């Protein structure tokens, strides 16, 4: 079987899923209704378009209700949410934070903003998230625990936290990771930037982390243009997150007093207005995206040596970005697939370059990353918009 024939078979499977429709297909584009226009116009008419207004409060309440957490704090993007979460959890200068090598760069960058060091860990091919068994063995080899927490015997630095990502919306296996955090004294942060609408064992993702985050970038399942949120089940921590992301300004009718280092991260009201309309449509978006995933799964059964990635058995995924995995025997065909599909107007892309290969992170600590390195060579994202 030639490399080109593999690329052609994949192209045909995608086209069959899209009912043979010609034209150009983005990887993920937003879908808007009249409701968003009404809310945004109301926001503009009120004059409250910045970080104060009724839609910010409403959006936060809707997020908390939908996800089942006690508190949601809306911010300007997922990266700022993650930076705030790490800061509030006490990550500081020279602290190591365990981060998947297979993730978007914002996950590692947010650690760096705190003065911490991303320490890269491997993933599991069945979830695309952190491999808890492999991590358990690794931490057993390198960690020393005591009254000061978890210390990396190889570097002498404290390992403070782990950030787990729900990659492409597929929930990582959280139970064993929570157990590792208890045993090694680690803070758990869920990077659910891609996973609104995804469930882990019946509960919405974001309920297990000490703090968790969401993203509402323009290519996410719902969008506020740019935006993110922190999630938590601790009211005091929620109050602190809101205070810190509003420049730590002490409430007062006219006086400007700030009682700690804060960040100008509050989501603008006009973005939240857009988010309220989007969140009202989220159940239908999830239904459409899961239907699209089922059609892809059926179409790719006929393509040899290619696996459509499906949700882990314990999860219900939002299928934010659909993905296929090439067998190792045809992994050299990846770029042929990317070239052909994009030339035909179907946007596809490889997974992100692994974090430890980026120039600024090449010297960071890392475990064996065999699985992540294999997936990097074989994974392709394919069109996933709810409008499909």
Total domain count for the chain? Answer: 1
DSSP assignment of 64-90 equals HHHHT-SEEEEES-HHHHHHHHHHHTT
**Candidate from 50-54, 58-62, 313-317 with smallest mean pLDDT:** 50-54
CB 110 within 8 A of CB 230: no
- Residue 287's pLDDT is 98
Is residue 58 pLDDT above 50, yes or no?
yes
Is residue 21 pLDDT above 90, yes or no?
no
H-type alpha helices, 114-260: 132-142, 174-184, 235-244
pLDDT-derived band at 302, boundaries 50, 70, 90: very high
Q: Provide the mean pLDDT of the chain.
A: 96
CB 261 within 8 A of CB 44: no
- Tens-place pLDDT, residues 129-170: 999 999 999 999 999 998 888 999 999 999 999 999 999 999
> Would you call 311 helix, strand, or coil by DSSP?
coil
Structural domain includes residue 54: yes
Beta pairing, strands 322-326 & 71-75: unpaired
- Residue 4's pLDDT is 53
- Give bridge partners of residue 308 from the DSSP assignment: 324
Tell me the C-alpha distance between 190 and 183, whole Å.
18
Of 345, 279, 375, 308, nearest in space to 61 by CA: 279
Structural domain includes residue 204: yes
The residue-averaged pLDDT of 76-95 equals 98
Structural domain includes residue 167: yes
> Would you call 252 helix, strand, or coil by DSSP?
coil
The residue-averaged pLDDT of 310-322 equals 97
Structural domain includes residue 300: no
Structural domain includes residue 115: yes
- Residue 53's pLDDT is 86
- Residue 307's pLDDT is 98
The domain that holds 88 is classified in CATH as: 3.40.640.10
Structural domain includes residue 22: no
Which residue range forms the structural domain that includes residue 199? 34-280
- Residue 1's pLDDT is 44
The residue-averaged pLDDT of 308-315 equals 97
Structural domain includes residue 153: yes
The residue-averaged pLDDT of 34-63 equals 93
Q: Could you tell me how many residues make up the chain? A: 388
Q: Is 303 exposed, middle or buried (0-12, 13-18, 19+ CB in 10 A)?
A: middle
- Tens-place pLDDT, residues 188-215: 999 999 999 999 999 999 999 999 999 9
**What are the CA-CA distances from residue 271 to residues 59, 148, 237 (Å)?**
10, 42, 24
Is residue 3 pLDDT above 50, yes or no?
no
Tell me the C-alpha distance between 44 and 210, whole Å.
36
Structural domain includes residue 248: yes
- Tens-place pLDDT, residues 365-376: 999 999 999 999
């Amino acid at each position: 079987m030639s490399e080109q024939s593999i690329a052609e078979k994949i192209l045909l499977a995608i086209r069959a899923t899209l009912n043979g429709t010609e034209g150009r297909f983005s990887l993920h584009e937003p879908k808007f209704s009249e409701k968003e226009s009404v809310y945004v116009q109301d926001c503009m008419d009120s004059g409250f378009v910045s970080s104060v207004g009724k839609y910010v409060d409403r959006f936060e309440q809707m997020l908390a209700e939908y996800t089942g957490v006690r508190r949601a704090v809306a911010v300007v993007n997922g990266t700022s949410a993650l930076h705030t979460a790490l800061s509030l959890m006490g990550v500081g200068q020279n602290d190591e934070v365990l981060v998947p090598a297979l993730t978007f760069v914002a996950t590692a960058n947010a650690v760096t903003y705190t003065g911490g060091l991303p320490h890269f860990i491997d993933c599991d091919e069945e979830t695309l998230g952190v491999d808890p068994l492999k991590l358990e063995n690794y931490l057993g080899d390198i960690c020393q625990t005591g009254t000061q927490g978890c210390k990396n015997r190889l570097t002498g630095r404290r390992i403070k936290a782990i950030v787990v990502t729900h990659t492409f919306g597929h929930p990582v296996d959280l139970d064993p990771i929570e157990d590792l955090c208890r045993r090694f004294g680690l803070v758990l942060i869920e990077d659910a930037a891609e996973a609104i609408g995804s469930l882990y064992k019946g509960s919405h993702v974001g309920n297990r982390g000490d703090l968790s985050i969401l993203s509402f970038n323009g290519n996410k399942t719902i969008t506020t243009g740019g935006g993110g949120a922190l999630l938590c089940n601790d009211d005091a921590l929620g109050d602190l997150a809101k205070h810190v992301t509003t420049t730590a300004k002490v409430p007062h009718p006219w006086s400007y007093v700030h009682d700690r280092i804060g960040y100008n991260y509050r989501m603008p009201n006009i973005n939240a207005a857009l988010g309220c309309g989007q969140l009202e449509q989220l159940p239908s978006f999830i239904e459409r995206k899961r239907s699209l995933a089922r059609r892809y799964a059926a179409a790719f059964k006929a393509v040899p040596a290619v696996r459509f990635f499906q949700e882990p058995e314990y999860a219900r995924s939002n299928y934010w970005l659909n993905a296929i995995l090439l067998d190792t025997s045809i992994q050299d065909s990846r770029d042929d697939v990317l070239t052909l599909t994009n030339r035909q107007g179907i946007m596809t892309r490889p997974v992100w370059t692994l974090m430890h290969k980026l120039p600024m992170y090449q010297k960071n600590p890392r475990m064996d990353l065999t699985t992540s390195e294999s997936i990097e060579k074989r994974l392709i994202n394919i069109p996933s918009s709810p409008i499909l």
